[in-house]
Structure 1
Amino acid sequence: MDLHGKYPGLYDLKKRARRRIPKFVWEYLDSGTGQEATKQRNRLALDRIGFEPSILHGEQTPNLRQEFLGHEFPLPFGISPVGMSGLIWPDAERLLAKAAAEAGLPYTLSTVASQSPEDVAPVLGKHGWFQMYPPKDEAIRKDMLQRARDSGFTTLVLTADVPVSSRRERQTRSGLTQPPRLTPRLMAQVMRCPSWAQGMARLGMPHMRGLDKYIGEEHANLPSTAHVGYLLRTSPDWEYARWLRDHWDGPFVVKGVMRAYDARALEDLGVDAIWVSNHAGRQFDGAMASIEALPAIRAATGLPLIFDGGVEGGLDILRALALGADFVMLARGFHYALGALGSQGPAHLIDMLRLDLIANMGQMGIETFSALPKPISLDQIDPAGRAY
């Protein structure tokens, strides 16, 4: 099948995924919190960023390689963590880790994934990142770090922007619990999605396998916004981040940074990279778009910056790189790809993004990311066509 002919854009994957996964799963994947204004703001803010196209450059060969955290990656993006990926598509974490490894890109496993670090280890490759929701108990914390190391994860990511659980109204209305419990209402949705249902029947309904050794049966059937991951973890402070820095011997990244002040403080603390993110609009509906926060954070620190938030194509990746990011991560996009095409989806999306980078770089007449021109605001164009 010609996947590029049938599914040339992320929108096509998203549309097909919505038909192939149950509604309660779709609500988990696609929803934000509140009125979802922050989620929409991420997309609208990216669309306001433009470039001036350039002509008469002759044949060009774009170099898409990117140096980041001591490695040269073939492309400037990777896969973000998503809790309970295996609910979105059967065996999602291993499928994503395998696709990332084959492409030479980083894959980030969540603490609250449906597969444990040990489950993912055989397909992880060289660029496994482990995202930690901070456990309160120090013994659990140390054990998690050791398990991640032993499983081959090289980079630790502290997600710092979840001090409390968000309400995620769409997700709550869907009836999802953790672990998932199939009520008659949810079962009716499952029956309309045979590929998803067959995969789940083969593998069993997912749960947070990485936390099995730390929990008991009393934590079953919790609301999806107050699952066992929340019960084990704490709201981290600066001392907590310092403890992690001292107890992890690889690159240490803090995710969820939206203020220049915090970026400067993290640089003083000794982190290796900062992840600019508003959690895809899933935590706080009053946040600015991630891309709006990026330039001030870039001006405040010399640390490498990771960006996420609303990315849907190669042009969005270039927008982020032009505004100061060193690397870009996608979460929902890779899960839309899984929902649409199963195991073929992640590799197809990676190739789609690669081709989109080449096409847009060609329009700007550049062969390297360092040659990206200064972006212009498409909201500030006068009738003569000049940016002001």
Structure 2
Amino acid sequence: MDLDLDFPAVSDLRARARRRIPHFAFEYLDSATGRELQAVRNRERLDSVLFMPEILPGKVAPDFTTRFMGEEFARPFGIAPLGMSGLMWPGAEAILARFAAKLGIPYGLSTVATRLPEDIGPLTKGRGWFQLYCPADPGIRRDMLRRARESGFTKLILTVDVPDDSRRERQRRAKLTLPPRITPRVVWELLTHPEWSLRTAQVGQPRLRLPESYLDKAKALSSLAHAGHIIRGAPDWDTLAALREEWQGHLLIKGVMDPEAAKRLVAAGADAIWVSNHSGRQFEAGPAAIDALPRVRAAVGPDVPLIFDSGVSSGLDILRALALGADFVMLGRAWHYAVAALAEKGPPHLAHILTDDMRLNMAQMGAHRLSDLPSRLLTRP
């Protein structure tokens, strides 16, 4: 199998992932909310960001090493936290964490991952970022922070764009429960996806192990009241102030679209702003994330670290975000398409796709450095 010929783009990895994993797992990974118009908007607005090509640029050999928040990374992109990661491919968290450490890029672990921070943190070799869905109980919150810190996670991500659930109708139609209920339909899915099933049997059922470690194990959990929902609180500005005191490292605020809110977050002690609309999974009627990015940059000024995600599916998309003000770009779905499609071979192949796409597009623009990108912008959202 020649991966570069068989799977030259993220869309090819997505198509193979769809065939290799159960329907309920793919629908969780791939779906947005409502009619998925915000996900469509993300794609359309990214596509509207154009660059002027250059002729006779000479040899273009960009160095993608990126210094971000005091650390050096091999690429200007990383692996975003994704809930229930191990549902998409058994052992996905460990596969991705090990790869991130090897390449030298950050790996984000979600509160609602299927593995504990104690299991995954050591694999990141100091590249791990822990994403917090803030529980209502401050004692649980402080203990989660302690466990993340002691497990080796160096940065804390507070996700602020999930004040409540979203309906995610595709996910509901797929009858997703965690752990999966044994129904005739689920049995059929398991039988027709044998590699996923065998690997799941080896690593154990996908469960929300961190939230469950704080629950009464005898408590019955329905699909709509799983551990992640039970412990999730409703964080406000006071919660942010408490969290700023409790976490001594870098604090990243994820899910910011409003420029005024971004300025207030910086004043409240945020070390970085993460522009994101949760890839359309939470709120259908909001703007495209790429439209918010230059507005947030203008509001916070040139020196505040900015991260971007939402709808990124190519190296060109990464260049678009960097040109419009992002210092770093994170991808979530794409890495999970890759690992579901090709298991351990998926992440390095995706990194190759993204890196090569960035290099070749920069050659077309005559951009020798990432800092050249804004000058090549032709249109802005």
> Shorter-chain TM-score: which interval?
over 0.9
The residue number in structure 1 matching 2:80 is 80
- Report what 1:2 is aligned to: 2
- Of stretches 173-182 and 339-348 in structure 1, the one that deviates more from structure 2 is 173-182
Equivalent residue runs for 1:130-169 within 5 Å = 130-169=130-169
Please show how residues 113-128 of structure 1 align to structure 2 within 5 Å.
113-128=113-128
Q: What residue number does 2:379 align with? A: 377
1:74-116 deviation digits (Å, cap 9, x = unpaired): 1100001111101110001011101111010000000010000
Alignment of 1:197-276 (within 5 A): 197-223=197-223, 225-276=224-275
1:361 pairs with 2:380: no
Question: How much has 1:226 moved relative to structure 2?
Answer: 3.8
Structure-2 separation of matches of 1:93 and 1:165: 23
Percent of counterpart pairs with the same letter?
52
Structure 2: which 5+ residue stretches go unaligned? none
**Number of equivalenced pairs:** 378
SS in structure 2 at match of 1:157: strand
Query: 1:151–1:192: structure 2 CA closer, same or farther, 3 Å change rule?
Result: same
> Following the alignment from structure 1 to structure 2, what is the Cα–Cα distance between the partners of residues 183 and 130?
34
- Is residue 179–residue 220 contact of structure 1 (8 Å, CA) maintained in 2? no
Please give the secondary structure, in 1, of the residue aligned with 2:202.
helix
Instruction: State the one-letter code of the partner of 2:39.
Output: K
1:378 to 1:246, Cα distance in 2 relative to 1, 3 A: closer
Shift of 1:219: 4.5
Report the Cα distance in structure 2 between the residues aligned to 1:12 and 1:30, rounded to whole angstroms. Answer: 14
Conservation of the 8 A alpha-carbon contact between 1:32 and 1:39: yes
Give the 5 Å matches for 1:185-196.
185-196=185-196
Tell me, yes or no, if the aligned pair for 2:365 and 2:376 is still in contact at 8 Å.
no
Unaligned runs of 5+ in 1: 380-388
Contact 1:127/1:154 (<8 A) preserved: yes
Worse overlay, 3-12 or 155-164: 3-12
Letter in 1 for 2:283: F
Q: Which residue does 1:310 correspond to in 2?
A: 311
Q: CA deviation at 1:8?
A: 1.0
Deviation at 1:180, TM superposition (A): 2.3
Moved more, 366-375 or 150-159: 366-375
Letter in 2 for 1:308: D
> Does structure 2 conserve the Cα–Cα contact (< 8 Å) formed by 1:27 and 1:174?
yes
RMSD over aligned CA atoms reads: 1.3
Deviates more, 1:263-272 or 1:172-181: 172-181
User: 1:287, 1:323 → 2: CA distance?
Assistant: 19
Residues 36-57 of structure 1: CA deviation (Å, up to 9, x unaligned):
0011111111011110100111
1:171 is the counterpart of 2:171: yes
Match of 2:330 in 1: 329
Assess if the C-alpha contact under 8 Å between 1:308 and 1:329 holds in 2: yes
C-alpha change, 1:41 and 1:129, in structure 2 (3 Å) is same
- SS of alignment partner, residue 368 of structure 2: coil
CA distance in 1, matches of 2:182, 2:30: 20
Deviation at 1:216, TM superposition (A): 2.1
Q: Are 1:337 and 1:346, in contact at CA under 8 Å, matched by a contact in 2?
A: yes
Q: How much does 1:318 deviate? A: 0.3
TM-score of the superposition, structure 2-length normalised? 0.97
Q: Distance in 1 between matches of 2:220 and 2:129?
A: 28
The alignment status of 1:348 with 2:367, answered yes or no, reads no
Give the conservation status (yes or no) of the 8 Å contact 2:53–2:376. no
Using the TM superposition, give the Cα deviation of residue 122 of structure 1 relative to its aligned residue in structure 2, in angstroms: 3.1
Query: Structure 2 counterpart of 1:354, which letter?
Result: T
Q: Is the contact made by 2:60 and 2:362 (CA closer than 8 Å) also made in structure 1?
A: no
Structure 2 equivalent of residue 52 of structure 1: 52
Alpha-carbon distance between aligned partners in 2 of 1:137 and 1:265, rounded to the nearest angstrom: 25
Tell me how far apart the structure 2 counterparts of residues 248 and 110 of structure 1 sit (CA, whole Å). 17
The C-alpha deviation readout for 1:161-207, integer Å capped at 9, x for no partner, is 11111111110111111232232112212211111111112122110
Residue number in structure 1 paired with 2:181: 181
Q: 1:220 & 1:179 partners in 2: Cα distance?
A: 12
1:343-383 deviation line (CA, Å, top 9, x unaligned) = 1111111111111111011111111111112423399xxxx
